Amino acid sequence: MAMPIHQNEKPLYIQVNPKDNVAIIVNTGGLPSGTGFPCGLQLKEHVPQGHKVALTDLEQDEAIIRYGEVIGYAVRPIPQGCWIDESLVRLPEPPDLDELPVANRVPEPLPPLEGFTFEGYRNADGSVGTKNILGITTSVQCVAGVLDYAVKRIKDELLPSYPNVSDVVALNHTYGCGVAIHAPDAVIPIRTLQNISRNPNFGGEIMVVGLGCEKLLPERLIPAGDPAASLMSLQDHQGFMPMIQSIMSMAEERLKRLNRRQRVTCPASDLVVGLQCGGSDAFSGVTANPAVGYAADLLVRAGATVLFSEVTEVRDAVHLLTPRAVNEEVGRALIREMKWYDHYLQNGQADRSANPSPGNKKGGLVNVVEKSLGSIVKSGSSPIAGVLSPGEKAAQKGLIFAATPASDFVCGTLQLASGINLQVFTTGRGTPYGLAMAPVIKVSTRNALSEQWHDLIDINAGRIATGEATIEEVGWEIFRFILDVASGRKITWADHWGLHNALSLFNPAPVT
pLDDT tens digits, 59-69: 999 999 999 99
**pLDDT score, position 351:** 84
Rounded to an integer, what distance in angstroms lies between the CA atom of residue 491 and that of residue 484? Answer: 8
Alpha carbons 170 and 463: distance in angstroms, whole number: 39
Query: Residue 57 above 60 pLDDT?
Result: yes
Report in angstroms the alpha-carbon separations of 469 from 379, 442, 461, 472, 481: 20, 18, 8, 8, 16
Residues with Cβ < 8 Å from 46, sequence gap 6 or more?
2, 30, 31, 32, 33, 83
In a domain, 99, yes or no: no
Cross-strand pairs, 119? 265
Q: Where are the alpha helices (DSSP H) in 322-463?
A: 328-347, 358-362, 368-375, 408-417, 447-452
| 231: CB partners within 8 A, 6+ apart | 139, 207, 208, 209, 210, 218, 219, 221, 222
Q: Which has the minimum average pLDDT: 289-303, 342-356, 411-425?
A: 342-356
Beta bridge partners of residue 307, listed in sequence order: 274, 400
Let me know whether 206 and 353 are in one domain.
no
Q: Which region among 7-11, 108-112, 190-194, 264-268 has the lowest average model confidence (pLDDT)?
A: 7-11
The pLDDT tens digits for 436-481 are 999 999 999 999 999 999 999 999 999 999 999 999 999 999 999 9
Query: The domain that contains 45 carries what CATH number?
Result: 2.30.130.110
Residue 234: give its domain's CATH number.
Answer: 3.40.50
The span from the CA of 305 to the CA of 299, in Å, is 7
Q: What is the pLDDT of residues 331-342, one digit of tens each?
A: 999 999 999 999
Asked if residue 512 belongs to a domain, the reply is no
The pLDDT score that the predictor gives to residue 5 is 41
Q: What is the pLDDT of residue 242?
A: 97
The DSSP symbol for 31 reads B
- Let me know if residue 364 belongs to a domain: yes
- Cβ 109 vs Cβ 330: under 8 Å: no
Decide: 411 and 309 in contact? Cβ < 8 Å.
yes
Contact between 421 and 132 (Cβ < 8 Å): no
Residue 327 near residue 383, CB atoms below 8 Å? no
6 pLDDT more than 70? no
- Name the nearest CA neighbour of 386 among 376, 404, 378, 398: 398
Residue 264 within any structural domain of the chain: no
Same-domain pairing of 245 and 293 = no
Q: Is residue 219 part of a domain?
A: yes
Tell me: pLDDT of 79 over 70. yes
Among 259, 291, 315, the domain boundary falls at 259
Q: Which of 58, 93, 128 corresponds to the end of one domain?
A: 93
Give the separation between CA 187 and CA 103, rounded to whole angstroms: 29
Q: Is the peptide bond before 356 cis (omega within 30 degrees of 0)?
A: yes
Please indicate, yes or no, whether residues 230 and 337 belong to a single structural domain of this protein.
Answer: no
Domain assignment of residue 503, yes or no: no
How many residues make up the chain in this entry?
512
How far apart CA 369 and CA 348 sit, in angstroms, is 21
Residues 453 and 488 reside in one and the same domain:
yes
Average per-residue pLDDT in the chain? 95
Q: Are strands 384-388 and 230-233 parallel, antiparallel or unpaired?
A: unpaired
- Structural domain that includes position 240: 120-259
In this predicted structure, the answer to whether residue 9 has a pLDDT above a threshold of 80 is: no
* Cβ neighbours for 19, distance < 8 A, ≥ 6 positions apart: 65, 68
Cα 74 from Cα 65, distance rounded (Å): 10
Model pLDDT, residue 482: 98
Q: Which of 232, 259, 286 is the last residue of a domain?
A: 259
Whether residue 382 is found in the same domain as residue 449: yes
Distance (Å, whole) CA 167 – CA 155 = 8
Q: Say whether both 231 and 289 belong to one domain.
A: no
Q: How big, in percent rounded to 5, are the helix, strand and coil portions of the chain? A: 35, 20, 45
| Residues 462 and 322 reside in one and the same domain | yes
Average the pLDDT over 292-318 and give the result. 97
Contacting residues for 127 by C-beta, under 8 A, at least 6 apart: 200, 270, 272, 419, 421
SS3 assignment, position 293: helix
C-alpha to C-alpha distance for 238 and 245, rounded to whole angstroms: 11
* Whole-number pLDDT of residue 8: 55
Domains in the chain, number = 3
Tell whether 291 and 439 lie within a shared domain.
Answer: yes
Co-location of 379 and 446 in the same domain: yes
On whether residue 104 sits in a domain, the answer given is no
Which string of DSSP letters, residue by residue, matches 299-315? Answer: HHHTT-EEEE--GGGTG
273 neighbors 306 (Cβ within 8 angstroms): yes
Residues 485-508: tens digit of each pLDDT:
999 999 999 999 999 999 999 999
CA distance 171 to 134: 10
- Is pLDDT of 285 > 60? yes
Residue 267 placed within a domain: no
Of the candidates 304, 298, 460, 313, the residue with the CA atom closest to the CA atom of residue 380 = 298
Co-location of 203 and 310 in the same domain = no
Three-state DSSP at 258 gives helix
Within this chain, do residues 248 and 278 fall inside the same structural domain, yes or no? no
Question: Taking a C-beta distance cutoff of 8 angstroms, is the pair 17, 68 a contact?
Answer: yes
Whole-angstrom distance, CA of residue 381 vs CA of residue 29: 33
Q: How many CB atoms lie within 10 A of CB 1?
A: 6
Mark whether 303 and 403 lie in a shared domain. yes
CA atoms within 13 A on the CB side of 22: 33
Q: How much is the pLDDT for 223?
A: 82
C-alpha pair distances (Å), 23 with each of 34, 52, 512 = 16, 5, 50
Looking at the predicted structure, is the pLDDT value of residue 7 above 50? no
- Using 50, 70 and 90 to split pLDDT, how confident is the model at 2? very low
